[in-house]
Amino acid sequence: MIFIAGATGFVGTNLLETLNKREIRTRCLVRSEKKAEKIKKLATEIVYGDITDRESLTNVMEGVDIAVHLVGIIRETPKATFQKVYIEGTENLVEEAKTSGVKRFFYQSALGASLNAPFRYSRAKAEAEEIVKRSGLRYVIFRPSLIIGKEDGFTENLKRLFSLGPFIPVPGGGKAKFQPIFIQDWVKCFMYILENENAWDRIYELGGPEHLSYREILNLYMTAMGIKKPLLNVPLTCVKAALPMSFLTKVIGKVPPEVSVEQLNMLQVDNITEPEAVEKLFGFKPKRLEEYIKDILQT
C-alpha cells in the first residue's frame, strides 16, 4: 500500500494513473470531498485530512508500506505559508509515518534546495529534506527542475501570459537556464525507485536532457502554439512595480498570471543539474521539450 499526500495535484494525478494501471494499491490524503472527485476513479482508498493539521492525520497511514509526500506550493498565502506546508507539514507526515510503522518515505523537493539559499522557498524545501533525512526512515528525495505536462502550472501560466497583449514581457531578459523534465519521465524515475530496494537512502537531482533559457522556452511554446508575438525584455524593477493584480488588470484589461516577487527573483537564477542526470541515475534517456510540447498543449 502506497500513501500519497498531494495526490490531487499535477504530479500526483499523473503518478496515480500509472499506479492504478499497474494495480498498485494506493491510499490518498485529500482535504475535502470536492478535491476527492478528481481522483476517485484512480485511488484505491481516500482519506480526509490536512498535512498542516496533525490531529487530522491520526491513523491515516495504518498498513502503509511507503509514504509519498508531494504537497507543494510555489507562492505563499496567509493560510498556506512555506513554514506551515513544507516544514510543519513534513514534520506531521513523518511523525505519523513513524507512529504507523511505515518503513519508507518519499519526498518531492526541488533543484536549488539549500539551507543557505537566497530564497525562502528553497530554504523551506531544504529544511523539509532535513526532517526526512533525520527521521530514521528509509527515504528518497527528488529534486526536479521544471516538471512539464498537460495542465501543469507553468504551462497554464504561459498560456495566460501569451493571451495578454501584442508582446510577451520577459522579466530581466530571460537568460536563466532551466531543465524541463516531462511528467511521464518523472513517473518512470519514481517507478524505478519503487522497484529497486538499493535505490533508497539518497537524494536525486532530476532534469531533462537539455538546458534551456527561459527565453528559449518561451520561443518553443510560441512555435508549438502558432503564436507570433515579439518578446520584450522588461527590467525586473518595472515588473515588480507593476505586480499588484488590480493595477495590471486595469492597464491590460485582463487578469495576468499570479506571481510573487520571490518567483520573479527565482526566474533570474539557473535551475539545472547535469543534462545526463536521468540517464546516469535511472537508465533511460528523457524526452526533449520539443518532443512532447505539442501533445501537452492539445485540449
Domain ranges of the chain: 2-152+179-211+271-290
Query: How many other CB atoms are found less than 10 A from the CB of residue 262?
Result: 17
pLDDT value for 251: 45
Residue with the larger pLDDT of the pair 288 and 234: 288
Percent of the chain with pLDDT over 70: 94
| Residues in Cβ contact with 106 at an 8 Å cutoff, skipping those fewer than 6 apart | 66, 67, 68, 69, 139, 140, 141, 142, 190, 193
Least confident of 60-74, 114-128, 194-208, 231-245: 231-245
Q: pLDDT (tens digit, 9 = 90+) per residue, 10-27? A: 999 999 999 999 999 999
The set of cell numbers assigned to 189 is 524515475
Residue 248 pLDDT: 46
Through-space distance between the first and last CA atoms of the chain, rounded to whole angstroms: 33
243 pLDDT tier (thresholds 50, 70, 90): low
Q: Is the pLDDT of residue 245 over 60?
A: no
CATH architecture of 2-152+179-211+271-290: 3-Layer(aba) Sandwich (3.40)
Alpha-carbon distance of 218 to 154, in angstroms, equals 11
The confidence band for 242, taking pLDDT boundaries of 50, 70 and 90, is low
Task: Find residue 4's DSSP bridge partners.
Answer: 28, 68
Give the DSSP letter of residue 67: E
HSE (CB half, 13 Å, CA atoms) of 83?
A: 3
